[in-house]
Each structure stands twice: as C-alpha cells, then as structure tokens.
C-alpha cells in the first residue's frame, strides 16, 4: 500500500499564535520527503495534522484524493514513529508490535506473519521476547519502526526518530531507514532539524521557516540553488558565508565589492536586480586557502577544524568579518597565520534586502 498526500491551504493556530499559515504541498506516492527547519517552524505540527493528532483550523488534507482531515487517526491509514519510541514497558517486543493489529481484530496468523517479516527486515528477531527496558536506544527505535511496518500503512510519518541516538547509531539507523524505503516503496515523511539527515535521506526536502515553506526541491538543488538567504544559511555545514557588498556591472554580470575592498566577478546577470543593499553568499568549499599575496584577499586565521579529508579555516578579514574557507586535510596552516583567500566567484550567490536569492539569472523562489 502507498499513498499520495495533498495539503491544501492548511492553517493551524494555537490560541492567538498562528503556527502554519495557508500552507500547501503535494507529495507523490512512494516519495521520501523530509520536513526540515528550526525548532518552532511548524514541521512537527504539520506531521501531527497529517496523522490526526492535531486538528486543522482551515484548509484540507487528502490521501489518495480522499479528504482525511475530518477522520480519526485510526482510519487514515498512516503509521507514526515518535522521537520517544512510545513503547509499552510491560509488554514484550512481540506484543508491542502486535498491539495495534489486535485492536482492529487482524487474524492471529496474519499478525505473526507480519511480525516475522518486519523482525527479519529490521534484524530484531532475537529481541521479540524481551521488554523495552532490556533494549538499547537503537533497538527500541527499531522496534518502534517495526510496530509501524506491521500495520502496512499507506504512509509512514517519522517525527525526529533519530534524535535520541548517539552519533554512530544515528548514522547506522539513517542508512537502515533509506534501505527500508527502497524495500517497502512506501510514502515516507520524515521531520528533522538536522540538515545532514535531510540531505542523505530525502528524495525532496521541504524547508520550513516562520509558518511557511521557504523552498521545496531535491537535496542538491536546495544546496546549490537556495531560494533565500535563510535556506542558504540553514542547509550546509558549515553555513554559507555572507558578506555585505556593493555591486556594479561588469560585461552584464555582477561584480561585487566587499567591505575589505575585495572585488569578485560572479556569474549572476545584473538584469532584473532590485535596488540594494545586497549580501554575497559563498560556501566554504568555494573559498580556497592560499599563501598571502599582494593581489588576493587575506586575513588572519582564527580557528581550524580538521575534518580528515579537508580542513575548515576560519579567517578574520581586514574589516572584521569572518569567513570560512577550505584547505587540504593535511593543511599546515596554524592559528594566527596570515593567509590568502581565492574565491570561486562563479559559485557565488547574491541576496537582496528581502532575503531573496539571485543566481544564474533567475531569482530564488522565496
């Protein structure tokens, strides 16, 4: 079973506070969609509205073309996996997985067959007779996922399911979730504030902020062509560098000058640009650390982050701005060194006063 999900002009208020404002989104069947955004942006509330755990104040939610926002949760055909696992502590793993099916009078043989298949898929067969208190956090999360799998839902809803796991378990469980999606071919919606989870899991990312959707797109589309300054700063680690600039035209393209006097030629056409002020955005991998020269931007190294395959170098420019550049993994740069910076201007983005992005001649869709 699988489902398309359509959200049409949905609004949600808690008292006088509006947390979602006429939000619309279509999710095709079998897609893995990630709702990404900071705490308080409304992503978990939207997920709970799809599940039926929160009411809809206006607008509608449809699954496979049928309106479901007026149906009780149990009739919507979705299964939710919570951050807190929500397992019954007095029941065995087997009974936890069977509980929802018993409640709707599924045949015992069918229940056993579904549990056996889910246990095989999630490698928890040896845990079926244990209770949650005897399991690790990672094992409990797998059981919670297994409890959703046995329901054979039209869609899976994951509410930050990895946030209680340590770093190594998060990585492993993330891979297992991606493999589960490939095997089940089901519609999955995953809520997170972790952009690494979003980039590695999603077919499409829905970036949310301040009651609305900032951008929808494939992970690398979001990364390479952010629609707004918010998206550019939220997606990517480290965050994109932002520098206030003045601009002029150079052969039809933007030439941007920073406060430190550095001029960058970009691939951004000047046609259609609004009035300033502007900020230039550029990612750390497009700022290369070089020996200082008279013709290059330069600054003093504040901090180094050695990541193995590359070194992030935080450089303080002459105007006091800090910018993050990249050097090789075996970089010999030290804190306090004066270094040069080589900018890949063709990879730069421009953001206007409203936060809208400009790159490659097309404005971002904010």
* Residue 366, in any domain of the structure: no
> What was the pLDDT predicted at 87?
87
Is 120 in the same domain as 181?
yes
Query: Which has the closest alpha carbon to 322: 284, 270, 359?
Result: 284
Which pTM was predicted? 0.88
Is 9 in the same domain as 124?
yes
Q: Could you list the residue range(s) of the whole structural domain that residue 283 is in?
A: 238-360
Is 153 in the same domain as 257?
no
Q: Which residues pair with 244 in a beta bridge?
A: 279
Is 161 in the same domain as 305?
no
Report mean pLDDT in 10-residue bins for the chain, 366 residues.
91 93 95 93 94 94 94 90 84 91 86 90 89 88 88 90 80 85 90 91 94 94 95 92 91 87 87 88 94 81 94 92 94 94 91 89 42
- Here the CATH number for the domain that contains residue 322 is 2.40.50.140
Residue 350 · residue 274 · CB < 8 Å: no
* Residue 257, in any domain of the structure: yes
Pure H helices in 123-201: 137-149, 167-184, 195-201
The residue length of the chain stands at: 366
What DSSP letter does each residue of 191-225 carry, written as one string?
Answer: EES-HHHHHHH-SEEEEEETTEEEEEE-HHHHHHS
- Under DSSP, is residue 109 helix (H, G, I), strand (E, B) or coil? helix
* Residue 226, in any domain of the structure: yes
Is 159 in the same domain as 216?
yes
Is 273 in the same domain as 141?
no
* Residue 81, in any domain of the structure: yes
* Residue 221, in any domain of the structure: yes
Both tokens assigned to 302: 């504040």
> What was the pLDDT predicted at 53?
93
* Residue 365, in any domain of the structure: no
- Here the CATH number for the domain that contains residue 11 is 3.40.50.300
> What was the pLDDT predicted at 295?
63
Across the beta sheet with 263-269, the strand order is 263-269, 253-258, 241-250, 278-282, 349-351, 357-359, 362-363
> What was the pLDDT predicted at 363?
46
Q: Which residues pair with 207 in a beta bridge?
A: 36, 215
Is 311 in the same domain as 345?
yes
Is 13 in the same domain as 138?
yes
Domain boundary pick from 215, 232, 249: 232
Is 197 in the same domain as 258?
no
Domain boundary pick from 172, 199, 232: 232
Is 56 in the same domain as 194?
yes
* Residue 123, in any domain of the structure: yes
* Residue 344, in any domain of the structure: yes
> What was the pLDDT predicted at 40?
87
Is 221 in the same domain as 285?
no
Is 215 in the same domain as 297?
no
Residue 281 · residue 242 · CB < 8 Å: yes
> What was the pLDDT predicted at 121?
82
Dist. CA 42–CA 19, nearest whole Å: 6
Domain boundary pick from 210, 232, 254: 232
299 exposure class (CB count in 10 Å sphere: 0-12, 13-18, 19+): buried
Number of domains into which the chain is organized: 2
């Amino acid at each position: 079973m699988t489902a398309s999900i359509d959200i049409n002009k949905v609004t949600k208020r808690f008292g006088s506070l509006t947390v979602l404002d006429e939000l619309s989104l279509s999710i095709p069947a079998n897609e893995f969609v990630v709702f990404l955004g900071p705490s308080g942006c409304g992503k978990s509330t939207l997920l709970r509205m799809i599940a039926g755990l929160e009411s809809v104040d206006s607008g509608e939610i449809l699954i496979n073309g049928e309106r479901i926002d007026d149906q009780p949760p149990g009739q919507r055909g979705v299964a939710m996996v919570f951050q807190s696992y929500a397992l019954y502590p007095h029941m065995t793993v087997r009974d936890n997985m069977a509980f929802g099916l018993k409640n709707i009078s599924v045949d015992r043989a069918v229940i056993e067959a579904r549990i056996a298949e889910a246990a095989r898929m999630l490698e928890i067969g040896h845990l079926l007779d244990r209770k949650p208190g005897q399991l690790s956090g990672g094992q409990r999360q797998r059981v919670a996922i297994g409890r959703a799998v046995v329901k054979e839902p039209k869609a899976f809803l994951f509410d930050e399911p990895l946030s209680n796991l340590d770093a190594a378990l998060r990585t492993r469980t993330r891979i297992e979730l991606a493999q589960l999606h490939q095997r089940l071919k089901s519609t999955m919606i995953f809520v997170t504030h972790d952009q690494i989870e979003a980039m590695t899991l999603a077919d499409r990312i829905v970036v949310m902020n301040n009651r609305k959707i900032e951008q929808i797109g494939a992970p690398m589309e979001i990364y390479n062509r952010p629609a707004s300054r918010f998206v550019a700063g939220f997606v990517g680690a480290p965050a994109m560098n932002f520098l206030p600039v003045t601009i002029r035209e150079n052969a039809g393209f933007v030439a941007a000058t920073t406060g430190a006097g550095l001029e960058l030629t970009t691939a951004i056409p000047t046609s259609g640009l609004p009035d300033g002020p502007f900020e230039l955005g550029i990612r750390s991998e497009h700022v290369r650390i070089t020996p200082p020269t008279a013709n290059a931007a330069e600054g003093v190294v504040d901090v180094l982050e050695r990541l193995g395959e590359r070194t992030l170098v935080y450089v303080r420019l002459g105007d006091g701005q800090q910018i993050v550049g990249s050097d090789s993994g075996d970089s010999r740069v030290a804190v306090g060194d004066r270094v040069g910076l080589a900018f890949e201007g063709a990879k730069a983005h421009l953001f206007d006063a409203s936060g809208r992005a400009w790159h490659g001649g097309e404005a971002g869709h904010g």
